[in-house]
A = this chain, B = another copy of it.
Amino acid sequence: MKPIYDRFLSSRINYIEPSPIRDAVAKIAAKSKTTKVISFAAGEPDPDVIPRELYGELAKEVFIKEKGSVNYSPADGVSELKIEIARFMAEYEGVKTGPDNIVVTLGGSQAIDILGRLILDPGDIVIVENPSYVNTILVWKHYGVRIIGVPMDDNGMVTEKLEDVVKRLRSEGKKLKLIYTIPTGQNPSGVTMSMDRRKHLLEIASRYDLLVAEDTAYNHLVYEPVDVKPLRSMDTEDRVIYIGSFSKIFGTGLRIGWLEAHPEIIGRVRVAKGPMDMCPPVPSQYIVLNLLRNKLYRPIREKAVAEYKSKRDIMIAAIEKHLTGLKHTRPVAGMFILLWLPEDIDGRAFSDQLLEKYNVAVIPAAAFYTDETGRNVIRLNFSMSEKDLIEEGIRRISMLLKESKTPTP
Contacts and interface: CB of A to CB of B under 8 A. Distances in A.
A324 interface: no
A107 B139 contact: no
Interface stretch (A154-162, A180-188, A278-286): A278-286
Contacts of A110: 276-277
A373 interface: no
A118 B9 contact: yes
A62 B53 CA distance: 9
Interface string A112-139: 0100011111001000000000111011
A50 B70 contact: yes
Interface string A247-262: 0001111110000001
Interface in A55-84: 55-57, 59-64, 67-73
A47 interface: yes
The prevalent SS among residues of A at the interface is helix
A48 interface: yes
Nearest to A384: B71
Contacts of A252: 70-72, 278-279, 282
A11 interface: yes
Given A63-B59, A121-B11, A271-B18, A276 B5 contact: no
A146 interface: no
A138 B274 CA distance: 9
Nearest to A137: B275
Given A10-B117, A12-B117, A117-B142, A264 B4 contact: yes
Contact of A268 (B9, B64, B209, B264): B9
A315 to B, nearest CB: 20
B106 A106 contact: yes
15 contacts: A5-B265, A10-B119, A12-B121, A13-B118, A19-B271, A19-B275, A56-B61, A57-B60, A59-B62, A73-B253, A117-B142, A252-B279, A254-B283, A255-B278, A255-B281
Q: Give the top 9 A-B pairs by smallest Cβ distance, nearest first.
A: A70-B251, A253-B282, A59-B59, A281-B281, A56-B63, A56-B60, A135-B275, A139-B275, A138-B275
